[in-house]
Amino acid sequence: MGEDTKNNNVLDICTGLGYTAIEAYRKAAQVTTIELDPNVIEIVKWNPYSQDLFNGIAEGEIQLIFGDVAKVIKTLELDSFDIIIHEPPRLSFTG
């Protein structure tokens, strides 16, 4: 996202550790982010690099929505977003 995004509304699908939402929060007017698992956000609370996610929520510039993105996205007015980012989770399993 470039410098000309300061007035943009961003939709971040898959919050995860919040890094994408945080970077969008630093460069855009409003960020909406969707996370399926509330437990992920509980884990994120302990990550010092994710604290700006909660700062943005406290300042009203980040809206965190819990739910299945396939269902939540149907309730949003997608025309209100200038940028939509989808960075799916990367999980590695060892076995």
Choose among 28, 11, 59, 37: nearest CA to 51.
Answer: 59
Give a yes or no: residue 42 inside a domain. yes
pTM above 0.75, yes or no: yes
Per residue in 3-22, pLDDT tens? 676 889 999 999 999 999 99
Indicate whether 95 belongs to any domain: no
Q: How far is Cα 62 from Cα 54, in angstroms, rounded to an integer?
A: 8
pLDDT digits (tens, 9 = 90+) for 38-95: 898 898 999 999 999 999 999 999 999 999 999 999 999 999 999 999 987 765 555 5
- In this structure, what CATH number is given to the domain that contains residue 66? 3.40.50.150
- Residue-range definition of the domain harbouring residue 67: 3-86
